[in-house]
Amino acid sequence: MSPFEYRQASTAAEALLQLGATQQAMASRDAPRFIAGGTNLLDLMKENLTQPPRLVDINALPLDEVTLLPDGSFRLGALARNADTAYHPEVRTHLPLLSAAILAGASPQVRNMASNGGNLLQRTRCVYFYDALVPCNKRAPGTGCPARDGLARQHAILGTSEHCIAVHPSDMCVALAALDAVVQVRSATGERSIPFADFHRLPGDTPERDTELADDELIESILVRPSRHYAAHSAYLKLRERQSYAFALVSVAAALDIGVDGRIRSGRLALGGVASRPWRDQSAEEWLAGKPPSTSLFEDVAALVLHGAVPHGAGPGSNAFKVPMARRAIVRALETATAGTVTNQGDKVW
Amino acid sequence: MTAATPKDRATDGDAPSVHRIHVRVNGEAHTVEVASWVTLLDLLRDRWHLTGTKKGCDHGQCGACTVLVNGRRTLSCLQLAVMRDGAEITTVEGLEQGDGLHPLQVAFVQHDALQCGYCTPGQLCSAVGLINEGQATTLDEVRELMSGNLCRCGAYVQIAQAVAEVALHPGEHGSERASSPVVTGTVPG
């Protein structure tokens, strides 16, 4: 890591001030950063992918609560740890999809350290992005994308551009996307809410920007709207090359509200491992509404979601397998959700 | 988390930051000045010669650097020492109980849960954390919740048995999966 200053803040105002007030004398190509859990930021710094001249420790800010609000929505503090969020008794009961998704990711140690806000902001693990010596349009705009014709097994099949095919690695975010969360952020000039679907960006012509969060904004909390009606039929299916402790090749967050007549009242579906953000397809969700669950219905939904999927990579690095895998994973996750709620505890998803 | 603010020493523009922190390590109080960028792992090993904790990958991927911070298992390679002012830290050196080994250490020996021993301190601290978390109720759950600790020698079967013995109950532990076939499209009870 390159040398840096370290400061603590105890209020949002102080944190935002500390972020801006970098002394002129410290020449650096990168901006100062907030640090919470540090599990992604410190790794990026050790790889010299980012060299902030100053870290502002925000852990003392009062943002670590996970609260069930009177109307049934949840406020997930940005500084609450992933593990505490997943194991929170009310999250487990009312948002089993979120709990399952968090527990499917990383390792217990990382989940104990990682903050909710940081989980949203973690960067792609693309092998080319992570190697400062090779071209990468996300890390160094204009230098090229070697993944497109190279090693792309972990890369996207949806929402890509000619400049970038990186995937967002988070599991928690896939569940938050399915549950229609809202990200509450604060800057020196005020607060705003960013719908989860808009938070992470597609690469387009500016792959270097992962999210809509401005450089001078702080995530304070994530609001999850009342989702109790999905609690009885939720499944997070994560397919990966190991049984645990690996990023998704393809993952699916599926949740259904099934009426007493057995028909689907509404459904939520989001995919991980296929794009630079969790992939929701609202037309596919609308197709589920009012219909009785069936394999052929789910196959139709999968075809809708994957319409326009494009494989990348070359030879053994090709990710073409993700297209049929995603199709089958959607069907499997929806069938599993129909049968009940399964929390992914490694092998128990089967 | 800590309420104390580490005291800055050098704060002018060109000088890197050095901070004084107070931590308790295995029950002993320490006060030390560290540069901002020193990881907890390097502080433990290089400054205090607590070399039980290992630097396996230094990138948070292997778990060999696992220590307990305020009772929770964490990766010491992915923490800045300066951010742990006021913390209670337990390393493998702090697991012994009185004159004897920790029950997990006894179980590891009895189950032959190590070969080269390099991952072992991390496995032990991780297992203590797992027990503190109280979430594992079966061998399969123990395996899943120990999956943040890699063992290149492949002692996983014995490690899982040793941890299950202490975390769950004595005696042999079997996998629930062993007798359940995978059935497409159904959810096992």
The pLDDT tens digits for B93-129 are 999 988 899 999 999 999 999 999 999 999 999 999 9
Q: What is the pLDDT of residue B185?
A: 40
Q: How far is A10 from chain B (nearest CA, A)?
A: 10
Q: How far is A204 from chain B (nearest CA, A)?
A: 30
Q: What is the pLDDT of residues A125-154, one digit of tens each?
A: 999 999 999 999 999 999 999 999 999 999
Neighbours of B144 (CB within 10 A): 24
> Does the beta-carbon distance from B147 to A340 stay under 8 Å?
no
**In chain B, helix, strand, coil percent, each to 5?**
35, 15, 50
Which residue shows structure tokens 């919740």? Answer: B145
Q: How many CA atoms lie within 13 A of B30 on its CB side?
A: 20
Q: What is the ipTM of this complex?
A: 0.95
User: Looking at residue B17, what is its pLDDT?
Assistant: 86
Instruction: Look over chain B and give the mean of its residue pLDDT values, rounded to a whole number.
Output: 89
pLDDT in tens, B126-144: 999 999 999 999 998 999 9
**Average pLDDT of the residues in A109-117:** 98
% of chain B surpassing 70 pLDDT: 85
Q: Express each pLDDT in A209-226 by its tens digit.
A: 999 999 899 999 999 999
Is B74 an interface residue toward A (CB < 8 Å)? yes
- Look at residue A329 and tell me whether its pLDDT is greater than 80: yes
Joined together, the tokens standing for residue B49 give 């010669």
pLDDT band of residue A23 (cuts 50, 70, 90) is very low
Task: Kindly list the distances between the CA atom of residue B38 and the CA atoms of A56, A105, B65, in Å, as whole numbers in the listed order.
Answer: 16, 27, 14
Our CA-based measurement puts residue A269 at a distance from the nearest CA of chain B, in whole angstroms, of 17
Strand partners, B90: B68
- Tell me how far apart the alpha carbons of residues A220 and A78 are, in angstroms, rounded to a whole number: 5
**Whether pLDDT at A170 is above 90:** yes
Question: Would you call B140 and A245 a contact, using CB atoms and an 8 Å cutoff?
Answer: no
Beta carbons of A57 and B140 less than 8 Å apart: no
Please say whether the beta carbons of A237 and A251 come within 8 A: yes
pTM: 0.94
Is A35's CB within 8 Å of B83's CB?
yes
Closest CA to B72 of B52, B87, B54, B53: B87
Q: Name which of B21, B37, B137, B139 to mutate to probe chain A: the one with the most chain A Cβ atoms within 10 A of its Cβ.
A: B37
Question: What pLDDT is recorded for position A292?
Answer: 98
% of chain A exceeding 70 in pLDDT: 95
Chain A residues closer than 8 Å to B135 by CB: 87
| Mean pLDDT value of segment A106-116 | 98
pLDDT the model gives residue B96: 95
Residue A344 pLDDT > 70, yes or no? no
Q: Which of residues 85-124 of B touch A (CB under 8 A)?
A: none
Q: Which candidate from B6, B17, B72 shows the least CB-CB separation from A5? A: B17
The reply to whether residue A345 touches residue B187, judged by beta carbons under 8 angstroms, is no
Q: Which residue has the higher pLDDT, B11 or A276?
A: A276
pLDDT-based confidence at residue B172 (cuts at 50, 70, 90):
confident
Where in chain A does DSSP place strands (E)? 5-8, 33-35, 54-57, 66-68, 74-77, 182-187, 190-195, 218-224, 234-239, 250-258, 264-272, 279-280
A59: CB partners within 8 A, 6+ apart: A8, A36, A79, B1, B83
Of the given ranges (A174-178, A232-236, B12-16, B74-78), which has the lowest mean pLDDT? B12-16
Q: B167 by DSSP, 3-state: which? A: helix
User: What average pLDDT does the segment A67-88 reach?
Assistant: 97
CB A186 within 8 A of CB A12: yes
Of A5, A108, A113, nearest to B145 by CB-CB distance is A108
Closest of A120, A334, A178, A153 to residue A248, by C-alpha:
A153
Residue A17 CB partners (closer than 8 Å, separation 6+): A9, A188
Residue A186 in this model has a pLDDT that exceeds 50: yes
The verdict on B36 touching A (C-beta cutoff 8 Å) is yes
% of chain A at pLDDT higher than 90: 91
Q: Of A342, A194, A183, which Cα lies nearest the Cα of A254? A: A342
Per DSSP bridges, beta strands A74-77 and A66-68 are: antiparallel
The answer to whether B1 contacts A59, with C-beta atoms less than 8 Å apart, is yes
Count of CB pairs separated by less than 8 Å, A with B:
125
Question: How far is A231 from chain B, CA to nearest CA, in Å?
Answer: 16
Instruction: Look at the block and give the residue holding tokens 């020493």.
Output: B9
Confidence of residue B189 (pLDDT cuts 50, 70, 90): very low
Query: How many CB atoms lie under 10 A from the CB of residue A14?
Result: 16
Write the pLDDT tens digit of every residue in B53-83: 999 999 999 999 999 999 999 999 999 999 9
3-class SS of residue B129: helix
Strand order in the sheet with A54-57: A5-8, A54-57, A33-35
